[in-house]
Amino acid sequence: MIEFDGISKRFPDGTLAVDNFSLRLPSREITVFVGSSGSGKTTLLRMINRMVEPTSGRILIDDEDVAQLNPVTLRRRIGYVMQNSGLLPHRTVLQNIATVPLLNRVPRAEAVARARELMDTVGLDAAFANRYPAELSGGQQQRVGVARGLAVNPNILLMDEPFGAVDPIVRRELQEELLRLQQELAKTIVFVTHDIDEAFLLGDHVTILARGGQIAQHGTPDEILSNPASEFVADFIGADRGRRALTLRESNGRTLVVDGTGRIAGVLGAETATGPVSVGAGGRDEHLGEITLGTEAAEAPHEVAPAVNDAPTASGVPEVDTPR
């Protein structure tokens, strides 16, 4: 468990990045910090491994105050994945993944064997082992970054907009990969993003941050979507507009779900014998499935199957581009 206890951070230039932030992040689950720039989300993340020191307050990992720990040793037992992968350009893929175990004096052969295993875990072809990061595509580099973050088998994985710089298709792949990994590994993951869709897709818990690290709302995606705590949250998650403001429309004997922009988002599940009743792999897409319906459909008890995933649209409904 990671606990923020009255954390504040004022940078030397006077900006108050985080103001009296307190929150408990449960173990073995994904907590997503989401907010626009200036919300202090990255600052909060970087305080966990002491890349940034709080001005006041404490951060506890399993009841141990991180301020009491040696920052270098602390960082070596926490996985860190960042945007643009942050790979060491002068080390091969294998060397990059084995970096932290080698810093921890794990015998070389063992570290390399473990790195090869991890390449497999994150879906990287073994042929890349001896390539340098510059020879890889953005998505492949990001996979190496994830493998490196997992190399010491840390309990905690910090992810700072790790998929922010890759194209939408690759991002979707990586997100699904992360969810698959998390089912196997069950790490305590703190994930920072400015993308609310990513937050709802990945997070067991989502913390929506306003300026200065103020918690606008914290809860499961379901709780936040069904009951936005404020105007700000409703606006931020776009609950009453665009892709999330769904209404129903009868057409050719079927009930279509139409989003706020007037586009067809999907077909209502119970009405379509051949159509997808639930969409997506794994049980996680329920967050997207339980999108709040507009008032016209509030009484409809059906399960909505939006075509936002790359699942087959057997019902013949045009696929809807997910705005990113």
Partner 1 sequence: MSWLFENFSDVWALAVTHVALSVPPILLGLIISVPLGWFAHRYRWGRGTLLTIAGLLYTIPSLALIIAMPTILGTQILDPINLIAALTLYAVALLVRTAADAFDQVSPQVLDAATALGYGPWRRFWQVQFPLAAPIIIAGTRVVSSSTVSLVTLGALVGMSGLGYLFTDGTQRSFPFEIGVGIVGTVLIALIFDLIIVLIGKALLPWSRTRRVRAKTNAETLEVTTNA
3 state DSSP class of 103: helix
CB hemisphere CA count around 5 (13 angstroms): 14
Nearer to partner 1, 74 or 208 (CB): 74
Residues making up the chain, counted from first to last: 324
State the nearest-atom distance from the C-beta of 137 to partner 1, in Å: 4
Nearest CB to partner 1, comparing residues 69 and 300: 69
- Interface with partner 1, residue 131, by CB under 8 A: yes
Which residue's CB is nearer to partner 1, number 119 or number 216?
Answer: 119
In the bound complex, what is the minimum distance in angstroms from residue 80's beta carbon to partner 1?
A: 4
In the range 169-188, which residues lie near partner 1 by CB under 8 A?
none
Of 88 and 314, CB closest to partner 1: 88
134 exposure class (CB count in 10 Å sphere: 0-12, 13-18, 19+): exposed
Please report, for residues 251, 258, 266, 274, 298, the alpha-carbon distance to residue 316 in angstroms, rounded to integers and kept in the order given: 13, 15, 10, 10, 25
Q: How far is the CB of 206 from partner 1 (least distance, A)?
A: 24
User: Which residue do the tokens 């993340």 mark?
Assistant: 45
Nearest distance from residue 310's CB to partner 1, in Å?
20
User: Nearer Cβ to partner 1, position 148 or 287?
Assistant: 148
Minimum distance between the CB of residue 269 and partner 1, rounded to whole angstroms? 38
C-alpha dist (Å) from residue 202 to 61, 136, 179, 222, 289:
22, 25, 7, 12, 13
User: Minimal CA–CA distance to 153: which of 108, 124, 184, 109?
Assistant: 184
Which one, 159 or 288, has the nearer CB to partner 1?
Answer: 159
Q: How far is the CB of 212 from partner 1 (least distance, A)?
A: 23
Q: Are 116 and 151 in contact (CB under 8 A)?
A: no
> Tokens 């966990």 identify what position?
48
Nearest one of 175, 194, 166 to 41, comparing CA atoms: 194
Residues numbered 33 to 62 that lie near partner 1 (CB under 8 A) are 49, 51
Judged by CB under 8 A, the chain residues 70 through 129 that form the site for partner 1 are 72-76, 80, 82, 84, 86-92, 99-100, 103, 125, 127-128
Give 246's DSSP letter: B
Q: Residues interacting with partner 1, by CB under 8 A?
A: 49, 51, 72-76, 80, 82, 84, 86-92, 99-100, 103, 125, 127-128, 131-132, 134-137, 140, 148
